[in-house]
Amino acid sequence: MFKQFETVAAIKSIYQQKSEISKIVMLSCLFSLGMVGIRVIYTGETFFLFLVWNLFLAYVPYAISSVLYKRIDWIESTPKFLFISLAWLLFIPNSFYIITDLVHLDYRYVVPFWYDLMLILSFVWNGILLGILSVRQMEKIFITKWQIRTELWFVYPVMFLNSLGVYIGRYLRFNSWDVITNPFQLISDILYLFIHPIQNRFDWSMIMCYSLFMSLVYITMKRLSRSVA
């Protein structure tokens, strides 16, 4: 009982220390986790627990960019900045990868269809939200450090690499850590994609479509945040 109170108190303390947008993100993620917890308790099924792991992976790049955003000394140190940026670039596709988890939506009849729809959509929304916030933080850093005048010179290349990462994860079934654990197979499959663009035209169509869509989503959200109601 006392441990439960201590846990609640710790969560409350963390929540109070967050910024306004961080509080919203935290509440939104807790909503998703709550829906998964209720589903597991009600059905006894653990199928959708993979979404919790995917949400954690989506949070990693946001955590990286948030720490970097506050460390001016890391930004000013070019080697350290490039290393952290590369690590961020390897993980940022995980934030947008959750969009593809909609493929798991199906009639399972153990809970109402709308519940599973809302559950997956909540994770998709949180993944996109974390991704957009993280990209925005890195955009501000890059614009300041490298004096980038046009946002698309940063946004679209990042979203293209995001889409490529989503494709690699969903269809080639690689993970971010395969860069270290299985680099040769990963490089081989990516090279095949570039060397044979005609044979892989449907794959490239998916990558280009996703990159344009995510760029539009990012720019739209960015413009909305500047508008006055």
Nearest to 159 by CA among 222, 102, 117: 222
Integer Cα distance of 30 and 50 in angstroms: 15
Distance CA 174, CA 167 (A): 9
Query: Which backbone phi and psi does 141 adopt, to 5 degrees?
Result: -65, -45
- Rounded mean pLDDT of the chain? 87
Question: Which of 105-119, 124-138, 175-189 reaches the highest mean pLDDT?
Answer: 124-138
Q: Name the DSSP letter for residue 45.
A: -
CB-CB contact of 17 with 111 (8 Å): no
The closest of 13, 53, 6, 7 to 33, measured between CA atoms, is 53
Q: What is the pTM of this model?
A: 0.85
Pair of tokens at residue 15: 């929540």
| 30-83 pLDDT tens trace | 999 999 999 999 999 998 999 999 999 999 999 999 999 888 888 888 889 999
d(CA 33, CA 50): 11
Q: What's the mean pLDDT in 135-153?
A: 84
Using a pLDDT cut of 90, give the percent of the chain over it: 62
Residue 14 pLDDT grade (very low, low, confident, very high; cuts 50, 70, 90): very low
Q: Please say whether the beta carbons of 102 and 120 come within 8 A.
A: yes
Instruction: Go through 162-174 and write b for each residue having 16 or more CB atoms within 10 A of its CB, e for each that does not.
Output: bbbbbbbbbeeeb
Alpha helices in 18-112 (DSSP H): 20-43, 50-70, 72-76, 78-91, 93-97
Q: Cβ contacts of residue 69 below 8 Å, gap of 6+?
A: 137, 140, 141
Which pair of tokens denotes residue 95? 């934030």
All structural domains of the chain with their residue ranges: 22-226
Which has more pLDDT, 109 or 91? Answer: 91
Give the pLDDT score at 11: 42
